[in-house]
Amino acid sequence: MPKMSTYYVGRIHKINLDDSKLIKAIKNPARIKYRKHSWTFINVQTFMQPDKKLFLFGNLAKYLPHALLPQVDEDEHESRDIEVDRFMVAASSFVYLPGFSGIAYQHIWNKIEHKTFRLVFSELIKAAFGNFFVSCEIEPIVEYIEFVKKIHTLKRITRLKSAVHPPNPLYGRLWKSLREYLAKRELDELRIKEDAGKDGNIKTELPKILDKFTQKAPSAKIDVKGDLDIGDASVLMAADGYGKASVEGHDGKRTIIVKTLDITKNFRFDAEPDASSLYEVAYSLFKEISQSRYLEGGKHDVH
């Protein structure tokens, strides 16, 4: 039985970058140092599926420029250290699907964890352009079921915070008006913060909406035409991978903060994956997310 790993999914938010430049930066990577190790992309390949869908596969490599490794001297029956250049500590597989702005990336416990992957990936892309007027960030897609469970522990919600950006190439009908607002104002980012009034409870529909998506209320129909209040819409937009959000409240005993960054959707797959097989699993997951969350196609910037 093959060894399995956990893969996390998110969307890549790009500023002053299109997909052709992003892919070029991954295929012709920079090298950076983070903490005690060096990092770069290796084994990068692009594939064109029969339906003309492009995807990219590669590894994020963590390595030591110089390392001393123990070796057994059989004649002298003792150990000695030998010097090795560019000793690879770990390599995390990933697949990028431009049609969803989506990425699935491997979590390697205690070596390349998912939060480190996101940080280093972003820094490598920026370094490829000399850190000059370019930004790139992986924003997690929230696992709705866990998100709902945590929110339902709150007896009252006292604060909603979010930072969202224009989506591309997908958008959600539930937050369509917010997307149009971002486009109309020509915004790169919108930050929203709502604090409860005197009664200490924000009048939000967020728990009810999320219940419908997670089939806690299967008989209820989700109104995909109506507009949500801007605070609720921004949290849902962030949860779909187009920003970050937090819901703060009280469970009767203590204050709890539920963050989208901490509840990332993931799946299990081979630790040493075949590129096409990993793509198929990731594609099916992103497609299911789009259908279940009423996401629709928009502008596509792949050439």
Whole-number pLDDT of residue 218 = 45
Q: Where are the domains of the chain?
A: 4-141+265-297, 144-262
Strands 32-34, 170-172: parallel, antiparallel or unpaired by DSSP? unpaired
The secondary structure of the chain as a DSSP string is ---EEEEEEEEEEEES--HHHHHHHHHS---EEETTEEEEEEEEEEEE-TTS-EEEEEEEEEEEEEEEEEEEETTTTEEEEEEEEEEEEEEEEEEEEGGGTEEEEEEBTTTB-HHHHHHHHHHHHHHHTTTSS-EEEEEEPB-HHHHHHHHTT-SEEEEEEEEE---SSEEEGGGHHHHHHHHHHT-S-EEEEEE--TTS-----HHHHHHHHTTSSTTSPP-SSSPPPHHHHHHHHIIIIIEEEEEEEE-SSSEEEEEGGGSB-EEEEESS--HHHHHHHHHHHHHHHHHHTTEEE------
Kindly report the pTM of this predicted structure: 0.89
Whole-number pLDDT of residue 169 = 67
For the chain, how many residues are written?
303
Whole-number pLDDT of residue 260 = 94
Place of tokens 């699935």: 104
Sequential pLDDT tens for the chain (303 residues):
789 999 999 999 998 999 999 999 999 999 999 989 999 999 999 999 877 689 999 999 999 998 888 889 888 888 988 899 999 999 999 999 999 999 999 999 999 999 999 999 999 999 999 988 898 999 999 998 899 899 999 999 999 999 999 887 677 778 888 989 999 999 999 999 999 987 789 999 888 888 877 764 444 455 555 568 999 999 999 999 999 999 999 998 999 999 999 999 999 999 999 999 999 999 999 999 988 887 876 443 332
Whole-number pLDDT of residue 163 = 96
Whole-number pLDDT of residue 226 = 55
Which of 242, 97, 96, 232 lies closest to 167, judged by CA? 242
CB neighbour list of residue 213: distance below 8 Å, 6 or more residues apart: 144, 222, 292, 293
